[in-house]
Structure 1
């Protein structure tokens, strides 16, 4: 089991997320829908990937256009039928990645649309991991490239099982049809992307600007720590701004102002972190609000906005420590 992030599941008044930092509930909640989050754990063996049958896409033929899909004809496959309707040329999706995608889902034999992200005008961002998403998505999207539109059908075995999903109006016997436009994918080697900004204040830490997926350096000056929160761009991205009630997907590294010792890092964990900004220490929430997706941000957190006199046990953080973070904002969830 990977090391638990200090940003989550820490003493009362700081963060309240339960779990080990995977935050599957955050990702699914962000879509305001019942799908494609699983109803429960799956022990089904991997399906065979077959070519069809699959219903036709009859309208909205372009990538990121809301599609219309015909009703399924005849009996659907008992395996996973997958077709790449539009082949993208971007990054390859791997199991365990976080994908950002628009999607539409409907029932095979009725063509009833039970969910779509196009009308919400907000893509879904979710991890392709068991327990985070229905297995049909994991198997259908793994190996696809960003920029692709993928059409696939999911029988109950790799969907919601025999219990179905009452919230979405899905019965335990329903085969589901999805159209997924894969916009982006992120993994433990993902970094910020944007324009470097000047770091001219000698009284503040200097953060490395490498974007190779490795942890950036953080050089803490031999000076008194600032009394107020610092939140500065190191690399400024061009994505949407993060709102105070958003959830985010990040890479981060945290060191102590006093001595510069690292105490937590997603790079060391070798897994991205995701959480809601209302569920982290105040310095993180305030420091990331208003910053652009794609950016690397230096955040210096005074004790009253961090852990104060109640640091996590075993963290190596002393009471009333000033904390320094480099945070890459990869996506909003």
Structure 2
């Protein structure tokens, strides 16, 4: 269902071009990527920074770009093979096929990009390129418009552009299917009762008929043993969300086969959700009850009435 995903996080364009000014400002005369050259496989040549971990420069593509996704393994790593549900950290540089300057890169930011294989939040060409690759590998990939942004223009990217990426798969890890912490007593009859199963299925949630609490409730159902979350962390979650008044579920990650989402806590816009998770341990299942001033307040949101008390049950699976 995931109908309110856009209300929980600050919207962010995949592979944001906000940080690409460093490359644009250098000018084309001193950039070796202004020359057209092809690698042995036909993709634009890497003209500098060819080794894994080095910031590369790319030549302009030669001739017409491939109409299908094309992947060259520049160097193969020795890590685990990426599969659906895994989380990878990827350094990248992106350039349009017929361009001479990158439109974005993560190397300058010194922060790899988090990708959940088979999940949302990245263009389809990225998902297809990464699936089945080994951690530690460097790839060069050309992505046709239908697997990128199509006819939608993006900052630094014209409509119907073929994109070229150099991608370093820095690391990967398997995401747990469930929180697996120690059960914490649920002895307050005025609060929702939450199931403690750890099999990856949605836990039961029973909301009492009493009046909701007036202040934020944030307590463990299962207390994990992982690191404590700060507002600078990103966390992979599974969650369910309900309205207290009628017990109606309005959002759940369990209703889809997609991998669980990543929440950068700095970008969580719902105050009670953010405040309730900061300070909690990874590996935990957390019950949150958000009074209106900690939730969506006096505005109706996607069918959720104004002044609604909200109930979230969140599994904190792993730090991103």
TM-score normalized by structure 1?
Answer: 0.60
Mapped pair 1:298 → 2:297: no
Q: Which residue of 1 aligns with 2:275?
A: 286
Mapped pair 1:199 → 2:184: yes
Query: 1:179 Cα deviation (Å)?
Result: 1.9
Q: Which residue of 1 aligns with 2:41?
A: 52
Tell whether the 8 Å contact from 2:237 to 2:315 is kept in structure 1 after alignment: yes
Query: 1:74 Cα deviation (Å)?
Result: 7.1
- CA distance 1:135–1:314, change in 2 (3 Å): closer
SS in 2 for 1:86: coil
Q: Which residue of 2 aligns with 1:215?
A: 202
Q: What are the superposed Cα offsets for residues 64-87 of structure 1, whole Å, 9 maximum, x if unpaired?
A: x34546768977973543234225
Q: How many angstroms apart in 1 are the aligned matches of 2:151 and 2:300?
A: 46
Q: What are the superposed Cα offsets for residues 233-287 of structure 1, whole Å, 9 maximum, x if unpaired?
A: 434364673527x876642112455675544322235555567766643321322
Unaligned runs of 5+ in 2: 22-39
Query: 1:323 Cα deviation (Å)?
Result: 3.0
Within the candidate set 126, 134, 141, 1:137 is matched to: 126
Mapped pair 1:254 → 2:262: no
Within the candidate set 204, 215, 218, 1:231 is matched to: 218
Mapped pair 1:151 → 2:139: yes
- CA distance 1:300–1:74, change in 2 (3 Å): closer
Tell whether the 8 Å contact from 2:239 to 2:253 is kept in structure 1 after alignment: yes
SS in 1 for 2:90: strand
Unaligned runs of 5+ in 1: 10-14, 18-22, 36-50
Number of positions where the alignment pairs a residue of Structure 1 with one of Structure 2: 292
Q: How many angstroms apart in 2 are the aligned matches of 1:242 and 1:133?
A: 25
Tell whether the 8 Å contact from 2:183 to 2:223 is kept in structure 1 after alignment: no
Mapped pair 1:89 → 2:80: yes
Query: 1:216 Cα deviation (Å)?
Result: 1.7
- CA distance 1:91–1:201, change in 2 (3 Å): same
Q: Which residue of 1 aligns with 2:36?
A: none
TM-score normalized by structure 2?
Answer: 0.62
Q: How many angstroms apart in 2 are the aligned matches of 1:3 and 1:176?
A: 31
Q: Which residue of 2 aligns with 1:122?
A: 111
Mapped pair 1:176 → 2:167: no
